[in-house]
Each structure stands twice: as structure tokens, then as C-alpha cells.
Structure 1
């Protein structure tokens, strides 16, 4: 099985009960529909031994069928184990193999050995190594060649570890056990996990499941690198900054626990390095007393000003929300530590946040300008995504008008912002019938009594058999999640068709670049007197901050700040998909926001999300040749 075929299974599994056509799968994987159909024929013969089958539903698409979920889990685990020993065939798989080979070996590796392992020509290997060098360059690393010895990765130890963490471990979902197979055994992993849990509980630190996973990844890499005599280097100033902090004491105790159970010694620099990671962890919730202790007055006032600027720009009326002010202040404190110590954080929900919470993401970008102005800290896209979660939670809370009756427990892996978002979304959608009685991390679930709980809503799969139902949802509730909880939909959305005007709808154009598309759409509005004269520059500047391609072949470009005389959408479809950021795009929706009246923004954004979140609808829109056809499709959404 090649990586492309594995990707097909992953996409079908993710789609659950929604059929995917060969055209949709081909757009996602960037191959022809014929290749997809041939791959599925091969897959069905391979999957028989797992009691898994890809069913073809005439006129609808493909569905992944398995007798039970355990069969799928067995397949995914088997593939992960097998993938670590398989000879890669495709270029992308060879590059991943070479990255692992170079990063997990401190000694020199000869090209002749790699040629023998991969069964490829020297020119093919050189081409793959060129891609590897480009990836390494992103992490400030390079490949050193030494005659008669071979090659190896060189650079700062912290950069090598970050590259291993970011590129190797974040290629797959964090819950797949197979990810760990190349770096440590399950026994070693258990020792590291228990050392972390024992000491964070001892010191009454509550972190998100993703932060726990990040700490485990960090310590696993540190353990392997130290065993190969590659300790991290830390400036003395950093050591003196941290040695009296609580995080240093906790790090010391965690590493001492690991030393007692594994044959390894961690130098002081490793204690400092773990302290930095602890300072940058995402906490999940605070008591009122903890809020008072953790609150930073300077950050508090910066956040206050950022929220006021968001309100001025988008009219969201968030300035009176004390909970949002506190939560953003508490979030920014470790975020600033991450920035100061050049420690990046990955947001696994970023793409979903951008697609399903576009207004909150734009508001977060606007707030980030104030953070930079006041603190000289550049907030990256991952951090902006987390800020957007807090804003989305506040917007959901603002809609709430009643309290609930049924009791549920939230199990959330991603920290304070996402758990608060899920809490307010649930309460807002099911306020008449639902009461969320608590929020917990997966690793702490066993410590909660489920006696009075009616059901659990979890953002991660829970395989254990529990006495009450478990509903697995996305943090940013999608339509299928809502239907599964109670088969009701939120009614407070606008009719997206009202925002699409025939004079600004364009079909089957042949543009090749992002710049030419934006230039065309914005110039049309400027020439018609609908937009400010600097509108094109504003949209391009926003695009430079973060690409507005959201997946599903859709991009939603828009200006940094509102700049038109009304709120409406300009729509353009392309003959062929183009690369937009890191995604393929064929449907472009220019979001034009009224610079004076912003009251209609939230319902319009909600209806837009419903439109672009539905893959089937996007494909129908791409097939349209007239405005009337598009309006008819939109009416059914």
C-alpha cells in the first residue's frame, strides 16, 4: 500500500457516513479521478483481511465500511508499524524516510547506504535530498558532507529537536501509537508519561491533553538525543532567569523520576529546557484564586485595548465580557514565554478554526496588531488560532439566553480556549435542555464520577466502554455533530444568497495566480465605486499575513479592515484549481464588509461557513455556469 492509498482511507474514514466521489478524492490528493478508482480497486483486495470494504454507491460516491471500529483501529496501527519498515516508493514518502533517517542518527550516513536501502538511482536520491535540504533550511538546519564519511544534519541542538518534534511527530494524529515506534518503546513511554502526570498532579498543575502530549514528545526526543551524547545548550542568563521558578522545580522532579527508571542522566541544561516547555504549556482552567495569582496587570491592559480595537473594527461588543478578558490574559502569559524563549507551539485545529470561525479569526488578527504595538511580540498564525477560539467562545456565550437541564461532561484535549468554546457552543445550541457540569482532560477522566452524568461530549475518541454514551465531536461543532447530539440545527443564520449579487459573480475563469484573482475582483469593485481606492492593497496585505485558503477547494480573501459601502460577496470559479498558500483552490469568495454598519456580520459569517464547509455543495457550485444555477444550489444549503 502506498501513501496515496492510505490517504484515501483516511479521507473516507474522516468523512464517516458522507460519501465522497472520485472527483472529490482526486481534488484532495491531487491526482486524476481514474487513479483514485484504480487505487480503490487495489485497496478493496488489500482490506479484505481486516473486514474492511470501500463501498461504491452509484451516483453518490464511496463509503468506508467496517464491521466495527476496532477493525479500523487495527488496520491503522498495523499500517503505522509496517510503514516504519516499508521501502518508500513515492518521492514524498522517500523524503519523509530521509528526514527520519538523518534526524534520528547522529553519525554520518553514506549516500551508498541510502541508495542500497531505497533501491533508487543516484539522480533520484539527489532530487529527494534537495527537498530535504529545503525542509531543513526552514528549521535553520543544513546537511554537512564529509569525504569518505558521508553526511549528517548540523545546526543548534534545540533546532534539531524542534524539527524532529514538528516534522516527524506532527505528520500524523497525536493519538496514533505507531508514531512513537521509531523513537522509544512502550515501556519507556509509560515511564515518561507517569513521571509527568505524577509531578504535575503533585504541584496542582492542570494542562491540556495536547500539552501533555507535547511534553511527552519533548522528553522522548531529549532522552534519545542525550543517549547519543547530544545535550541541548542553554544561555546562562536563561538559567538564572528560571532556576528559582516553580517550573524549574517541577522539571527537576520529573527528570529525576525518569533517571531513576531509565539508564540516563539529564544535565542542568535539560532541566532548564524542560522548564521553558512547562512555562509555555496551555493550562485548561483556573479557579478564581488562581486567576488572581496568575493575572499580569500589563498583559491585562494590553488585552483590554486589543478587545476594544476589535469592537471598533467589527462591532462585536466584547469589551464588557470579563471572562474573555481574563481568559485571553491568562492565555497570553505562557504565549509570551513561548515567544521569549523562541518556542513554537503547533495548533492542530488551525485549519478548522480558519474555516469554521472566520470572523473570530479575523478579529484575532486585528487584536494581534495591538499586541505587537504594545509588547513588540509578533503573534504567529497558530497562536492567533487559539486567540480566535477564545473570541468564538465569547460570541457563543453572548447568544445564550437560557440554562439547561440534562447533564453532560466535556472531555477536551486542546486547552482552555477550545474547552470554553465547546462549553458555550453546547450551552447556546441546547440551552433549554443541557447543563455542562464539568470539563476534564482525557487523562483525568477516570478521576471523575459519572454517576449523575447523562452523556459525555469528547473532542477525542474514547475507546473504553463507559456506562454512559460518549459523543465524539469536533471542538468547533459541525452540522453532523449537532445532529448527533440532538438532531436540531441553529436557526440564527442569514440567507447567504442575499449576499451574492449577479454583477459580482464570475464563472469558469482562467486565472493562474492569487494576485491576478484578487486584482480582478477588487478592481471591479473600485471601478464601480463600491470600494475604497486602496482596497486591492488591503486585501493583498491581509493575504500576506496568512493565506485565506481554507480547504475544500475554497479561498475567502478579504481586506485587513472593512472597506466597502455594503456587506456582500464577490464569487469566482476557476476552470482549474490553483495553488493558494498550501492548498488547492477553485472557488474564490471575496468577502466585502460594510465599513459603517457591522451588525449583520455574525449571521452572514455563519451562513458562509455552512456553505464552504459542505464539500458536496462546493462541487455543485463549481459546476454552475449561471447565477440562477448558483442561487438554486444555495437555497438548498
Structure 2
């Protein structure tokens, strides 16, 4: 087991500790069978650790590399602790199981039980319990762990499936670590190849393919290339490919052949056709734009166009977000979905390591996709998995961000004038000259027409006719003092914005619930919905729509907060119903939440829900406020804490 990040670093440091004289680069490359560049990278990595423990590996010009210990006591204490920590580094069951799986895949020959027990520091019974868990993990890949008498344990099955399992189960996809270089697990898995050389060749020969436009997909390609080369060098080559191999476009095909030739030359290994097919397959999965379209899906571009149009029209219909003219979003979404259609033709779905982050950071964007993509996919004979919806939600989140960067939404205004169309046009022109950046006059009506006009989507009215009352704010301007009274709109706007509804107004005591003791998810939601229905805030079908949404995917955004909402915007009036559950409520999948925010939002108010999500995301990070509310689970206590956000 490695004391440092990977085995070769351990061996390199031990070499320097035992070597009193400088070691030339040529001896190091020969001893470790890697290139000059890899040795220099290893020494840089080594020095990152040694700088904190009183030592450094330095280059003695003309002689080689030498370990210099500046603080012998600190270094010796660290080295002893590093050696001792090998036995305790596998502290958790998950770490031991991960290490067991790593060892089984990494081994070049079967390993006996005693070797495992020595490495894992566990009893025989515990070892077999770990083995059962790992066997269950490998079942979906068609792999088995067998124990050959007098030989040892090994994983048996198709080599392609083994590589899938290694990628899915061992190589962590934590974005920060995964994207900026090879992870510690990858360095350990691929310690028999020169990763710096591989990356240099890939960047040199495949640059025209522009693989760097996505860090994530590029890293996937590079990681699978390293996995293939490492396994091949260890004698674990693919004998058959159980998946369809796509045909690359001519340019990509030529570049890949040049790359294969250089790989064989640089790593002194022959790439059998199956291994070349493996590399082509993973290039295609992560960059489907290089695949020659199957005649059966030659219309993928037009299908993608239709899906994007259906999605954006669906979002427009169920909310006030209108992105049907957003050229950036349409272009990016169409390109992404066209690639998705290609991957479907390869039967190559891909996991989304960002999925949980997307759900938590961009819940509004994710929910807009979830609401529409299932039915859209069915209509086009496609299945959008949660992973795929997460990728699409990133594009929607980008559109949301661009929207928020634009000017604040203009107020929607009706102009009421009783002296005819010509005069109303003059008044409109005067108002627009001064306030066109503040509001949009959507209708010019007479007094009688105003009485018949629905005002749900209107912010306020400007009228030249005195009105006694109106269900929304209005300002009266006199025809005889038109220019002077138009100036009063400034004061009106200031007062209107001061008293405008805020997110906090959505919280009301009559929609606040405290559930003490045990309560089921269904009972909690039924109580909250019934309370809203009794007040006329939502229709009778609201509860059924909430359950339908939960059936698609449960709405907790972490193991603390849930944000249930209906399939469509059914609310008659907007309200954010709150439930505090100090003992927690089982939300499904063994996840318990203590705070439930039930969304009852009208279509007119939906565009402002981004502020609500932002508030809840801030709340999710504030454990101090969460504990304060749980300690004082009253409406007053809740509101006081929320106002701290």
C-alpha cells in the first residue's frame, strides 16, 4: 500500500533515502522505466510533500538528484508516522472495500487470502463480508470474483466490462480533482505507464479535433486511453468488443491512426485492432460529433431542432421564461441533443458526476427539464435519464444566468385614456420617452375596456380617468397638466418598488406547520395541500399533482431540505408553505429531511422563483440558522432567522 500518493513516489523516496550520492536522470529513468518528464513530475510531486517536513530533493548540476534533509528530527518523525499510517489509513469500511477492489483489478496474478488479510488488517469473516459487497457491485457488469484453490482470488469476465467497472467504481469523478489532472487513484492504477508522455501525445496528435472545448469529456477520453494502455502493458488486452464500434469521420479517422502509430512507437507496444476499437469507441462516446451518422438517424439534426423547440415552448407555456429566441441557448442545446441522439445509436449512455451538484445548485433549471423532457423524449422515441437531464439543465441554468444579467424585468403597464386612440398614442409616446427602460405599456384601453380586462399579469395602471379603486396599483395623471403629472411617475415608482412584494411575503403564518413526532411524507404533504386548498390558494387537484411530481423524482435537494411542487403551475395565488419536522420525515431512498418548502406559485410569479431558490440555497449552507429554527420552531422564530439571509 502506498504511503504517498502513488506507489512510484514511495519507491522514489525510498531510493533517495538509501542513496547517499546524487543519482543521474539516466539511472532514474532506467530504474523506474519511465521518461525524463515523468521523473521530473514525480520529483515535483514529492517535493510538494517534503517541503513541509524539513526535506527536499534537489538537482546537483552535472551529477543528479539528491535528497537533502534540513531538519532531521521533523523528517524522521514524519517518515515514521507515514510508515505507521499505512496500517491505519484504511479507516472506514468503504475505504477497505475500495482498496480490496483496487487490488483485485490491479493484480497481475491471483492473490491469496493471507495477502489480503495482511493488507487490510481485518479478520477472515470481515474480509468475506467485504467480498460479498464487492461481488454485488460487480454483478451489473457481468463480472465475478472466483477463488481458485491453492491459487487465489481474481476477477473473471470480459475485459471491456472490467474496464467499465474500474472507471465507474474506482476512478472518482470529484470534479475539482478529476478535471485538473490525474487523481490519486488514476496515478496508482496507471503507474506502469508514462502519463505525461501519453498526455503530450494526445494533445499533439489530436489537437485538430478540438477536444479541449469540454474539460470533462476530454478528461474522460484521456482517462480511458490511459486505462487501455496500462491494462495492455500488464497483459490484460481486450479480445472482443461487446459494443458497436462507430465509424469516425475521415479527418478524425486519419488523426487517430497517426496517434495509434505514435503510441505504439512511444510505448513499445502493439495495439491490436480490438484496442484501437476501444479507443475509438471512447472518443466517440465523449465526442459524438466525429461519428458518421447512421442512415437510421441521419435526421438527428432536425430531430434535435424539434426537441429544443418542444422544450422551450413547454417552458414558455408553463412559466414566464421565454427563451424561444435565445440564439445562444438554442445553438448549444441543439448541438448537445444531437450528440445525445448519436450516443443513443451507440447504446452508450454516460453518467453525470455533476448530477447531485446540479440538483442542489440549479434546482430551478433541473426541474424545468424534468417537467418536460420525459414526455418530449417519449414523443421522439428517446429516453432522457436523470444524468442526461442534468447536462441539459446546465444549458438552462446558463440561460437563467444570462437573464439575471440583463436589466431588471420591465413592469407591465396598461394606459387608460378616454379621449380616443390618437391622444392615447401621444401620451404613450411622452411616457416612453422618459420611462421606456422602466416599464412596457402592453395595452391602451378605454375605461370600459379596463373593466373587462384581466389584470393578473399587469403590474400597475396609468390612467387619465379618475378611478375610485382598482385591484392593482394605479397612478392618475391629469390631461390638463400632462407633462407635469408625468413627472410624478418617478415618485409613484419609488413608492411602488418600496412596497412591492418580496420573497418574504410568500411566507405567511397560515401556511406554517410544525410536525412533532413521527409523520409520513404523504400525510405531511396532504396536510399542507389541504391547508392551501381551504384558503382558495390552490385547486383540488393540487395534492395529486404534487404526488405525480414526487413519483418522477423525489424533490429533496439534500438530506435536510425538500421543495415539493406540482407538475404544472396550478396555484391561484402564490404562497410558500413551510413545514418544520424536528424529528425528520423519511423522504425516500433512506433520506430524511427536517425542512419542507411547498411551492404554490402562479405562472405570473414563476419568473421570480429564482430568488426563492437562491434564498433556500443560502439557507442550506447556514447550519446555525437551521439549528436556531429547530430550537424555536415557531413562525416568528422561523421568519426572524430567514431574514438573516
TM class by shorter chain equals: 0.5 to 0.7
Is it true that 1:608 corresponds to 2:611 in the alignment? no
The offset of 1:615, in angstroms, is: 3.9
Distance 2:81 2:228 in 1: 27
Distance 1:401 1:243 in 2: 41
Q: Go from structure 1 to structure 2 and tell me whether the alpha carbon gap of 1:541 and 1:158 turns closer, same or farther (over 3 Å shift).
A: farther
Q: Pairwise mapping of residues 231-250 of structure 1 onto structure 2 (< 5 A)?
A: 231=238, 233-234=240-241, 238-239=244-245, 241-242=246-247, 246-250=251-255
Distance 2:131 2:357 in 1: 32
Query: Which residue of structure 1 aligns with residue 207 of structure 2?
Result: 201
* Structure possessing the higher radius of gyration over alpha carbons: 2
Q: Pairwise mapping of residues 107-506 of structure 1 onto structure 2 (< 5 A)?
A: 107-170=109-172, 172=174, 173-174=177-178, 175=180, 177-185=183-191, 188-226=194-232, 227-231=234-238, 233-234=240-241, 238-239=244-245, 241-242=246-247, 246-281=251-286, 296-401=301-406, 495-506=502-513
Q: Go from structure 1 to structure 2 and tell me whether the alpha carbon gap of 1:126 and 1:512 turns closer, same or farther (over 3 Å shift).
A: farther
Q: Go from structure 1 to structure 2 and tell me whether the alpha carbon gap of 1:586 and 1:579 turns closer, same or farther (over 3 Å shift).
A: same
Distance 1:341 1:281 in 2: 12
The offset of 1:630, in angstroms, is: 0.6
| Structure 2 runs not aligned, ≥5 long | 1-48, 54-79, 290-297, 408-497
The offset of 1:391, in angstroms, is: 1.1
Q: Go from structure 1 to structure 2 and tell me whether the alpha carbon gap of 1:270 and 1:314 turns closer, same or farther (over 3 Å shift).
A: farther
Match of 2:633, SS state, is: coil
Distance 1:573 1:221 in 2: 49
Query: Which residue of structure 2 aligns with residue 477 of structure 1?
Result: none
Match of 2:286, SS state, is: coil
Per-residue CA distance 1:188-229 (angstroms, 9 max, x = gap)? 111221122112313445432222221121112112222333
Q: Go from structure 1 to structure 2 and tell me whether the alpha carbon gap of 1:171 and 1:369 turns closer, same or farther (over 3 Å shift).
A: closer
Q: Pairwise mapping of residues 555-594 of structure 1 onto structure 2 (< 5 A)?
A: 555-577=562-584, 580=587, 581=589, 585-594=593-602
Q: Go from structure 1 to structure 2 and tell me whether the alpha carbon gap of 1:401 and 1:523 turns closer, same or farther (over 3 Å shift).
A: closer
Per-residue CA distance 1:132-183 (angstroms, 9 max, x = gap)? 2332235454434444444433444333222211221116531464232321
Match of 1:212, SS state, is: helix
Query: Which residue of structure 2 aligns with residue 98 of structure 1?
Result: 100
Q: Pairwise mapping of residues 545-556 of structure 1 onto structure 2 (< 5 A)?
A: 545-551=552-558, 553-556=560-563
Match of 2:268, SS state, is: coil
Query: Which residue of structure 2 aligns with residue 36 of structure 1?
Result: none
Distance 2:284 2:84 in 1: 37
- Is the Cα–Cα contact under 8 Å of residues 300 and 341 in structure 2 kept in the other structure? no
Distance 1:593 1:628 in 2: 23
Distance 1:79 1:520 in 2: 57
Match of 2:606, SS state, is: coil
The offset of 1:507, in angstroms, is: 3.0
Q: Pairwise mapping of residues 5-24 of structure 1 onto structure 2 (< 5 A)?
A: none
Q: Go from structure 1 to structure 2 and tell me whether the alpha carbon gap of 1:632 and 1:126 turns closer, same or farther (over 3 Å shift).
A: same
Q: Go from structure 1 to structure 2 and tell me whether the alpha carbon gap of 1:294 and 1:328 turns closer, same or farther (over 3 Å shift).
A: farther
The offset of 1:103, in angstroms, is: 2.7
The offset of 1:335, in angstroms, is: 2.3
Q: Pairwise mapping of residues 598-637 of structure 1 onto structure 2 (< 5 A)?
A: 598-637=606-645
Q: Go from structure 1 to structure 2 and tell me whether the alpha carbon gap of 1:527 and 1:161 turns closer, same or farther (over 3 Å shift).
A: farther
- Is the Cα–Cα contact under 8 Å of residues 300 and 326 in structure 1 kept in the other structure? no
The offset of 1:324, in angstroms, is: 1.0
Distance 1:392 1:283 in 2: 23
| Structure 1 runs not aligned, ≥5 long | 1-46, 52-77, 285-292, 403-490
Distance 1:81 1:332 in 2: 51
Match of 1:566, SS state, is: coil
Q: Go from structure 1 to structure 2 and tell me whether the alpha carbon gap of 1:303 and 1:106 turns closer, same or farther (over 3 Å shift).
A: farther
Match of 1:181, SS state, is: helix
Q: Go from structure 1 to structure 2 and tell me whether the alpha carbon gap of 1:147 and 1:585 turns closer, same or farther (over 3 Å shift).
A: farther
Distance 2:352 2:85 in 1: 26
The offset of 1:628, in angstroms, is: 0.3
- Is the Cα–Cα contact under 8 Å of residues 566 and 595 in structure 1 kept in the other structure? no
Per-residue CA distance 1:598-620 (angstroms, 9 max, x = gap)? 34433333333333344443333
The offset of 1:584, in angstroms, is: 5.2
- Is the Cα–Cα contact under 8 Å of residues 237 and 275 in structure 2 kept in the other structure? no
- Is the Cα–Cα contact under 8 Å of residues 95 and 132 in structure 1 kept in the other structure? yes
- Is the Cα–Cα contact under 8 Å of residues 580 and 594 in structure 2 kept in the other structure? yes
Q: Go from structure 1 to structure 2 and tell me whether the alpha carbon gap of 1:556 and 1:139 turns closer, same or farther (over 3 Å shift).
A: farther
Q: Aligned pairs, how many?
A: 466
Distance 1:533 1:186 in 2: 65
The offset of 1:243, in angstroms, is: 5.1
Distance 1:245 1:514 in 2: 56
Q: Go from structure 1 to structure 2 and tell me whether the alpha carbon gap of 1:103 and 1:558 turns closer, same or farther (over 3 Å shift).
A: farther
With normalisation by structure 2, the TM-score equals 0.63
TM-align CA RMSD: 3.8
- Is the Cα–Cα contact under 8 Å of residues 494 and 606 in structure 1 kept in the other structure? no
Distance 2:250 2:526 in 1: 53
